[in-house]
Structure formats: structure tokens, C-alpha cells
Structure 1
């Protein structure tokens, strides 16, 4: 079993080895794949299990709750015990949970299996981000995170369309069997490519959850956490409501719904690619701020359209613009957030992901309150989440002037030909404080 850390890549190297990036993307896809692949089968599942639409949506809610809690656990464990073993254990449990879900005879057992799927799938998402943070930083991290999120966008682009054809051929249980096969491929890829990136010397000492306490003391990091959670609420609100919006309200078939959903995800992929190319050229916060503002504007437009009683089909371009804008948010927000807590990136990634899926679980419940008759709950959730994201972005603004910016003034005051003495409380130029985030050229 691999234990030694490979040589770390320089923050200026621009990225990770392609095969490692592909495997990390595959591990990160477990959440979107397990969320989106079975969405077209929602109506069939409701009929087969004899439940209403909110009952089927509960399987999605259970998965998202498990993802939120699981990320907190696996993030803390990976900071203390390394990345490789927790990731292997989590993906292995996900395989077993996928088999249980495919065999579930009742809604109750299916919900329990989906909860276990979410708990174990969290390992792939949180530890993949931590491995990236271990290997690259600064503008390179923004670029890699944007590419990672773009590659992860393949899952929502392909999953609903693939799920519609799989469910037509093999039923909703066949869709869940495909998830089990996907998890087996993930485990194999991880064993072949992933190596330990968090050496023993860098691991946390003390209480298991102590890292979460450390990251919770950083206000700017918490602002990015709130922003990421709110925008993920937008994404999950669209995902969880989309089967009924497109099929029940707009009257499209499952196959056409899959095409529309794939188009939305392709928009997010395109924006993610553009975002990765902007990294290092345009400050990440500027890109993030524009994307958050656009998200709020489109969400407000959606609310106005719904209240105006316009045909449901007008929501299609709004949903496309919303999902596309998120491609500019996810990579930049993740990179900026983890730059604040590089020394405990596993716990930072865990809190970031936990907030995202916690907000996603709440959004999935709220958008289903109107059943299949109205999109008003969806429009309200999108607008409220986008407003919270804008407020969180404003809260992350840097208001304190760093100590280093006073150095030129100190040099002006120094006698000609003499070297200025460093301030007593200032760290050496080549030794930043251990609890301070690394300087980020992407800002």
C-alpha cells in the first residue's frame, strides 16, 4: 500500500499529472453521478414503490445529508491519518451501499441505502480537493480546481441522459446497478494512480475534529463556506426540481429532459473551462464577484416570470444561465477558500463540502413543497440562495492592511545606506506565520 508522498509539484508548475487529475475527477464525480443518474427515473420509482413525488425526493435528501456529514468525518480523518487509506475505505463502502440500494425492496430501505451512499461517497469529494490543495497553490490551484470542476461537469452532462436510456431498458434498479459498477471503476483507478500526498510530518496531532475548530476560527474562510453553500443550494434546487419542471410542467419526455439537463451541464463545463483560462490573468475574486451578481440577477428574473404566470417553458433559458454561471463560482470559490486553510486542507475541504451538501439537502426539500403544480418554491429558493451568496461574498472582502505593506514606509524612514530593522511582531520575509494562509497571486 502506498505510503510515501510523491515529490510535490511547484505552485508555478500549472497543474497535476493528467492521470492523477483524471482519477481525482472520477472520485469527485461520485456525488454528481449518484445524484443525477437516477433523476429521470423519479416518476417510475414513485409508481413502482407506491409513493408520491416528495417520497422519492426523500432519497435525494438522504443522500445529500449523508454527503454533508460524511465530508466532515472524512476531512478530519484525512488530516490526521493521511489521504490514501480513508479514500480507499470510503469508496469501498460506497460500492456496498450501491448494491444495497439496487436490491432495496421498500422506500425505507432505499432511503437508508442512499444515506449510506452519501456518507461514503463524501470521501471521494472531500479528499480529492485536499489532495489538490496538498500539491498546488495560488493561481495554479485556481486553475486546477476550475479544471477539476469542469471535468466533474461531465457527470451531470451525461448522467441524466444516460439514466433516461438505462431506466427505459432496465428500470430504475438498473440505474442503481450502474452506480455500483461505477464505484468499482473508481476503486481500481485509485489503487493504480493515487499516492499519499499528506506525509506523517504534516499531519495533525490531537483531537480528531480539532482541525474543524481551527478552520472555524477564520472569518474569511467561513465567508467562502457560506458562499459555496448558498450557490450549491442553487444547483441542487435546479437538479431536484428539474425532473418535474421539465417533464410534468413543460410536458417533455424523459429523454428530452435528459437532453435539456445535459445542455445545462455543458454550459457549466464551458464556463469552467473559461474560468480556468482566466486564472492568473484576472483576479479570482473579480471573476467570482461577477458570477455571483449574475446568479442573483437571473434568479430574480425567474421569480418575476413565475409570479407573472408566464408559460413554464420560459424557465428553460433561466435555468441554463444559472447553471452556467456556477461554473465560474465553484472552482474560484474552492481555491480561495482552501488558500485560507492550507495547513488543514482536509478539514477545510470538509467544512466547505459539508455546508454545500447541507444547503443542498435543505434546498431539495424546499423546492418540493409545491409538488408538481408550481415552480414558485423553486424560484424563491433560487433567489434567497443567490442573495445569501452575494452577502457572503461581500463579507470576504479584505479589510485589514497586511503588515508587509508598511515596509516601504519603514524603509523611507531609515537612514540613508542603512537597512530597516524588522518590526518586533512581524514574521521574517521567508518564514510566514504557521497559521496564516499562503499568499495567493490569484487575488
Structure 2
């Protein structure tokens, strides 16, 4: 069975030692600012979503052009993952994060001051580039700092932040619009990014050798690592199934179920809550059962959920209660599976972790876009085409996972 080694940890990144309750407090103290940093990138879109209808009026443009302020951000954000992985390998983790934060701050201010929708689209693209730095670097930092179970817990907190923000940010954005214009949402994002800068300087080592001088490090070598490619595909397919449903759900709720937007919000609350509950317990499961077992448990939960959604669609059972129930099971499965999969995917030699993180997130976003676009062609047929597409993704990920039970030697710990 193949053995993968992550190499030795730098002294400043060694796991925290001490009493359990103190260890947990220090762990959260170091995780939360980094999790918030990835959340700011999502917040820059979710916070101003309620303002989109107003943009067409205030900037004298049409709805499709306004929508481009969202789609351009997502496209550039996805592509930037590959670039930031390469940049982090050369500039180091702290410099890369500082550069990303600086871009977010400058672009946020520019978006707030934009005089036309075309300038807004341009600065949103710059903002997307800046946001990409954190989603590449933060998982690498967490994976290097902690042992397996701690890394799963740390990455779970990042996932929790990334799941909670889409649920609460539109509500906060709507509240901002009651007292200010859409421009205020960009000022808020820029201010939050600025507030996180001191934490980055404090938490991230200034000098960190990612690899030996002259050691070859590139995507070609990374993609020759079959174990990494397998785990990246598992994570990408799992994430893609999630986004495919989330993007399709508003239409399904309104047209197929015949409910208003409130039902979609309720569905998100149950989904986010079940994800948080499962993700918060994921590290304990890894300690007891191992990474592969947690990935299996989460995968089978997701298989059960998408099979249930497919049955609802084929039988034309338009039950909001059952749909929300199966969605909650799916999100719980993701809470168990997602952080464990990312942790194992990033168990590559240290010289490759930044490139691995960049490619992992790029693949997840790319497969999410493909799934969302394919589902859009068949939404008029109701639930079953969306559920069938999700089922293909989950079955594919489980098939890949079938060959993934291997000994993994990481920081002297055998899984």
C-alpha cells in the first residue's frame, strides 16, 4: 500500500501542546482569524446580493450586465487559485496573504467608488484575484500546523465559516441597505480585510522554506501524484454536487414545490446547521476511526440523501419536508467528508502543498460550474435531473474513494 509523507513541520508550526482545554482554546484562537480570512472573500459577494436590483437603476444599466459583477468575480476567483499556488511557492505564505489582503482592500474601496458598472466589473475581478490567496494558503497553513485530527478540526472551522456566511450575509446586506447604499457593503468588506491583516502578520511565519533550493516544483510533477489527483477529484465532485443543488434550489423551491423564497432560506438554515454539527464532530471521528472511515461515512450519507432526492423527483413527490430532510443529510455527510478529504489531499510533500491547495480549489470550483450549468438546462423537468446529476457526482467520488484506503504517514502519525 502506498505511503505518503508530508515532511517535517517547521518549529513555529508544530502542534500546540498542553492541557486539553487550553489546547482547544489556543487552537480556536489561531484558527478563527484564518477562517474569517477565507470568509471575507465570500462575504464580498454574498453581502451585496440584495443590492443587485438597485445597481441596474443607480448605474443606469441592465440586469445581465449587473449579473456580470457576480459571474466575473467567480470566474476570476476560480482561475486565480492556480496562480496563487504558484505565487505562494515563491513569495511564501505571509507575503502571499498580505498581497491578497491588499488587493481585497484596494479593490473593495474602488468598487465602493466606482462610477460605472464597467469599472465595477473590473474592480470585482481584481477583488476576486485578491480573495483567491486565502483559499489557497489557509488550508496549507492549517495542514502544516496540525496533526491529522487537529487539521480536520481546523479545516472544519474554515468550512463552517464558508457555510454560515452565505446564509447570514444576504440578511446583513439587506439590513445595510436600510440605512445606506450598496456602496456601503464594499466599505464593510474592505474594513474587515484591513482588520484581519494584523492577525496574518502574527500567525503566519515571516520566513518559511517551502522546499530546498533548486528542487523542482511544478504542476506537472504534482499531477503525477495519483493519490493527490484521486483525492482532489473526490473533493471536487463532492463540492460540485453541493453547489449544483444550491444553485438549482431557488428555482426548484419556487417552480417545482410552489413555495416562496422563505422556504429556500429555511432549507439553507437546516443544511448549514447539519453541516456545522457534523463538521464540529469530524475531528473526533478521525481520531477514533481514521480519515478514510470518515470519508466513507460522509460519502454513504450523501449517497442516501441524493438517492432520496432522486426518488422524490421520479415519483413527483413535491414535499418540502422530505426535500429539506434529505438536504440536511447531504450537508451532514459533507461535514464529515469534506474536511477529511481536504486533509488527506494536502498530505503531499511540503514542497507541493501550495500548488496542491491551488489545484484542489480550482478543480472544486470548476466542477461546481460545470454541474450548475448542466443542471440549468434541465430545471424545467423538476427535481430528478438535478438529483441524477448529483448522484453521478457522488457515485463517481465513492468509486474513486474505493481505491483510496492506504497507509498515510504524516508527521510521524500513521492513519
Normalising by structure 1, report the TM-score: 0.77
1:76 equivalent in alignment to 2:48: no
Provide the alpha-carbon RMSD of the alignment.
3.4
Gaps of at least 5 residues in structure 2 are: 1-9
**Which aligned pairs between 1:27-426 and structure 2 lie closer than 5 A?**
27-39=37-49, 50-51=62-63, 59-102=69-112, 110-167=120-177, 170=180, 174-191=184-201, 193-196=202-205, 199-200=208-209, 202-203=210-211, 205-206=213-214, 210-246=217-253, 250=257, 257-311=264-318, 313=320, 314-370=322-378, 374-398=382-406
- Secondary structure of the 1:156 match is helix
**Aligned partners of 2:153 and 2:279 also within 8 Å:** no
- Secondary structure of the 1:310 match is coil
**Aligned partners of 2:37 and 2:134 also within 8 Å:** yes
Measured in 1, the distance between the counterparts of 2:28 and 2:250 equals: 35
Normalising by structure 2, report the TM-score: 0.81
**Aligned partners of 2:108 and 2:187 also within 8 Å:** yes
Measured in 2, the distance between the counterparts of 1:234 and 1:261 equals: 15
Measured in 2, the distance between the counterparts of 1:254 and 1:184 equals: 34
Please state how far the C-alpha of 1:301 moved relative to its aligned partner: 2.2
User: CA offsets per residue over residues 163-203 of structure 1, 9 Å max, x none?
Assistant: 44445665655544443333333334424x32326623x43
User: CA offsets per residue over residues 104-154 of structure 1, 9 Å max, x none?
Assistant: 676665554443332221111111111122322333323332344334443
User: CA offsets per residue over residues 345-389 of structure 1, 9 Å max, x none?
Assistant: 111111111111122222333333356884455334322221221
Measured in 2, the distance between the counterparts of 1:248 and 1:284 equals: 40
Measured in 1, the distance between the counterparts of 2:45 and 2:57 equals: 20
Please state how far the C-alpha of 1:393 moved relative to its aligned partner: 1.2
- Pair 177,11 (structure 1): closer, same or farther in 2 beyond 3 Å: closer
| Higher-helix-fraction structure | 2
Structure of greater Rg: 1
- Pair 157,188 (structure 1): closer, same or farther in 2 beyond 3 Å: farther
**Aligned partners of 1:33 and 1:179 also within 8 Å:** yes
Measured in 2, the distance between the counterparts of 1:167 and 1:240 equals: 24
- Secondary structure of the 1:279 match is helix
Length, aligned pairs only: 398
Counterpart pick for 2:12 among 7, 10, 32:
7
